[in-house]
Amino acid sequence: MLGAALSAQLRRYDILGIDKENCDITDKSSLAKKIGNIKLDAVVHCAAYTDVDGAEASIKEAFRVNEEGTKNVIEAINSKECLFVYISTDYVFDGNKKTAYTEEDIVNPLNVYGASKLAGEALAAKLNRHIIIRTSWLFGPNGKNFISTIARLAKKKEAISVVCDQTGSPTYTFDLAKAISDIIDIYFKKGVVSGIYNITNTGFCSWAELARYIIREAGLKTLVTEIKSEELKRAAKRPKNSMLSKEKFKALSGYNLPIWQEAVKHYLKNYVFK
């Protein structure tokens, strides 16, 4: 989802968009053939193992992609001058904080996915020129996401059960792609101190609140029954608080991303119900 949005957003640059069908980041020789001989000014590393529940049973695979794969990409760049942008997640936190997490808060992932992404962060942070972007609850075209799933289920069912005790910010891939593009612009024009930036759409909600909003926008009457996280009996634990403070990004860029309601409405209108 994010890679496609970034490819469209970064057209003003000379870009090389590589999909997993064309290159395996866990294969050093494959990476060397794709980017080993190219002088790159920036790399946005979106590739990841993202099956949160699946990672609990496939620990080695999750770390092979999210840690070792990241290491391979960094080594293939073969340049200390290249800007490395690493896409990370709210799942590096345990969710026990009562307010929004800042970039300086202590990390403590609850699941294998979060731990493997944090391992990738550690590798990125060692580079002279790096930007680590933590985001959450991604949605957009070209991939599975909660919003499309709820819209589909709401058309078929009179009632659905949705978790009510996890809070975060739905984040539209197009809005996130613009923010990443702007950070890259600022970096090359003014210089940006390497570090971590939280970037999501503005505002917070629970999954149940998000589901109700989707159903209202769809003009449906499907009933949303609120349930606790434990009732789902998923393999991986999720942080109950996934709220991320965006003040650092706003101070850098001068703006906040649109509120999540506007983003969801745009996605539904243009990609789900078109």
- DSSP 8-state secondary structure symbol assigned to residue 139: E
Q: Among residues 49, 91, 113, 172, which one is catalytic?
A: 113
Q: How far apart are CA 55 and CA 103, in angstroms?
A: 25
Q: Amino acid identity of 153?
A: L
Residue pair 64/26 in contact (Cβ under 8 Å)? The answer is yes
Spatial CA neighbour of 62 closest among 120, 106, 107: 120
Helices assigned H by DSSP within 190-259: 207-217, 229-232, 247-253
Q: How far apart are CA 242 and CA 237, in angstroms?
A: 12
Spatial CA neighbour of 83 closest among 177, 183, 1: 183
Tokens, residue 23: 């290159």
Burial of 102 (0-12, 13-18, 19+ CB in 10 A): middle
Q: Cα dist. 36→90, 125, 150 in Å?
A: 31, 21, 42
Q: Amino acid identity of 198?
A: N
Residue 113 is among the residues annotated as catalytic for this protein: yes
Q: How far apart are CA 134 and CA 120, in angstroms?
A: 12
167: helix, coil or strand? strand
Residue pair 93/109 in contact (Cβ under 8 Å)? The answer is yes
Active site residues: 113
